[in-house]
Amino acid sequence: MHLNQFGQIIQKEWENTPNIRKEIILDEFIIMPDHIHGIIKINNNSTGVWQYATEYAPTFFKSTSKTLGAFIRGFKGTTTKQINLIRNTPNFPLWQRNYYERIIRNENALNNIRNYIKNNPKNWGK
């Protein structure tokens, strides 16, 4: 994928996440023309769980909790604000309201999802 200016903002904010949220560890991700796939691990004073999130459609809430929902809300909020500033479209929704999430329970599932993400660009539009 060759990212345009908006895709570059999304990538920059995704990759900056561990600097903002120390509990987040990033794994495989891909930014597609109309969605993003990513694997993250959240260490929140428990054992830590790998989770997979897909967000379709390129809402702002604040949360201090260390959850996938808090991460997604913050990520959507900051990318929407930055892109809307460039497009001069204040308060225009960029992302769909919800997202798909899945807990990754073992190494085999983790590797399968990594491969799915890596192959997503060549399978897009099929």
The predicted-structure confidence for 49-91, as pLDDT tens digits, reads as follows 555 555 555 433 344 567 888 889 999 999 999 999 999 999 8
pLDDT at residue 113, as a whole number: 94
In this structure, the dihedral spanned by the alpha carbons of residues 72, 93, 84 and 8, taken in order and rounded to 10 degrees, is 40
Average pLDDT of the residues in 88-116: 91
What amino acid is encoded at 77 in this protein? Answer: G
Asked if pLDDT for residue 95 goes beyond 60, the answer is yes
Q: What is the CATH number of the domain that holds 117?
A: 3.30.70.1290
- Residue 109 included in any domain: yes
Owning domain of residue 103: 5-121
- Residue 27 included in any domain: yes
Distance CA 14, CA 79 (A): 9
Domain count, the chain: 1
Distance CA 109, CA 112 (A): 5
- Residue 126 included in any domain: no
